[in-house]
Amino acid sequence: MADPTPTEDRLLTDLSQLGLSLRAAEIAGVLATAQYLERAKGLVAEYLDRENAAC
């Protein structure tokens, strides 16, 4: 099961914990990519579930 869709606050918190930050104008773009990657994790998990079920 994929993690919940990241919010802006959660993204900034995750970055902050690594000592990283974003400029205000950059947040939306990075958040969009992070959200895509979250959906990607879901797609991959579903794919593996289907593959394993087929075996």
Partner 1 sequence: MQLADLPLATVAQQLRAGDLTSVALTEAHLARIAARNPDVRAFVTVTEAQARAAAQAADAAFAAGRDLGVMQGIPFAIKDLIDMAGVPCTYGSRRHAGHVPDRDAVVVARLLAQGAVPLGKVATYEYALVGPSFDQPHPPARNPWNLGHITGGSSSGSAAAVAAGMVRVALGTDTGGSVRSPACYCGVVGLKPPYGALPMEGVYPLSPGLDHLGVMAASVGDAALCLAAMGGPAAEGAHTIRGLNIGYARDWFATDPACDPAVLAALDDTAGALSLLGARVSLTTLPDYPTMEAAGAIILHAEALAHHLAALQAHAAGYGRQAYQSLVSGVRLTDADLAQARQAAVRMRAAMETCLAPFDAVLTGNVLAPAPPFSAFADDRAVWTAMRTLPFNVTGHPVLALPVGFAGGLPLGAQIVGRDTAMLVRIGAALEAATDAGAQRPYLRT
Verify binding: residue 51, partner 1, rule CB under 8 A: yes
Tell me which residues in 13-42 interact with partner 1 (CB under 8 A).
Answer: 14-15, 18-23, 25-26, 29-30, 33-34, 36-41
43 binds partner 1 (CB under 8 A): yes
User: CA-to-CA distance for 55 and 42, rounded, in angstroms?
Assistant: 20
Measured over all CA atoms, what is the biggest interatomic distance in the chain, rounded to whole angstroms? Answer: 48
Q: Which residues bind partner 1 (CB under 8 A)?
A: 3, 6, 11, 14-15, 18-23, 25-26, 29-30, 33-34, 36-41, 43-48, 51
